[in-house]
Amino acid sequence: MHNIEQNLHDVRNNIILAAQKCGRSPEEITLLAVSKTKPAEAIAKAIATGQREFGENYVQEGVEKIQQFANRNDLIWHFIGPLQSNKSRLVAEHFDWCHTIDRLKIAQRLSEQRPESMSPLNVLIQINISGENSKSGILLEELEELAAKVNLLPNLVLRGLMAIPAPEEDYEQQAAIFRRMEQAFIKLKAQYPQIDTLSMGMTDDMEAAIACGSTLVRIGTAIFGAREYGSTVR
């Protein structure tokens, strides 16, 4: 088991330094621990170190973990993987957030399937900011229309945007892509007062994302070590 306590401490310090460097308050940035493929004991260690928000990419695996930690009502679970229609009910019934809305049909299903006993599901619209054919997400020019429709759904709250840009080694190139997201986010915020979340930045591009207004960074490897495949349930 990697030293999750030390890793979390280091990641939080890096967030503080990146925020200070661009004149932002570190409190504006949420650390989402990406716990996909990680065993429950790794999550338990992160919880013991004060981590409360976790991101899962696979519906079934995520639901099992949510159920394992059901006795803790202070955890916030984010679904951050691509979502197929046939899995939408599980996300609607178990998760607090869904970051990957990229078509109206999925949003409608999530809204219809969200139990009345739960608070509305927080959702982000995923932008395919690098225009990659293989990636989920909509193009920026489609955002206005989708946002207007998602915003009307009764059991969802549209909170903002998410992006997974194509990997770029160079800081300036990373920042150029993130700035386009920041502009779209600012524009959306002006239309919808509840918009407050810009989910972008991972282990390798966190600094550029924070400089460009990210409010939530999704960090897996730097906390839990390299991903473990094989034994986990999909």
Q: Which among 93, 147, 142, 90 has a CA at the least distance from the CA of 124?
A: 147
pLDDT in tens, 161-188: 999 999 999 999 999 999 999 999 999 9
pLDDT band at 132 (very low <50, low <70, confident <90, very high): confident
Q: How many domains in the chain?
A: 1
Rounded distance between C-alpha atoms, residue 53 and residue 190, angstroms? 27
User: Does a structural domain hold residue 21?
Assistant: yes
Residue 32, domain extent: 4-224
> What's residue 2's pLDDT?
65
CATH classification at residue 175: 3.20.20.10
Is a pLDDT exceeding 60 seen at residue 86? yes
For residue 75, is it within any domain? yes
Task: Establish if 229 belongs to a structural domain.
Answer: no
Is residue 158 helix, strand or coil? strand
Report if residue 234 sits inside a domain.
no
Give the three-state DSSP class for 219. strand
Residue 230 lies in a domain: no
Asked if the structure places residue 59 within a domain, the reply is: yes
In a domain, 233, yes or no: no
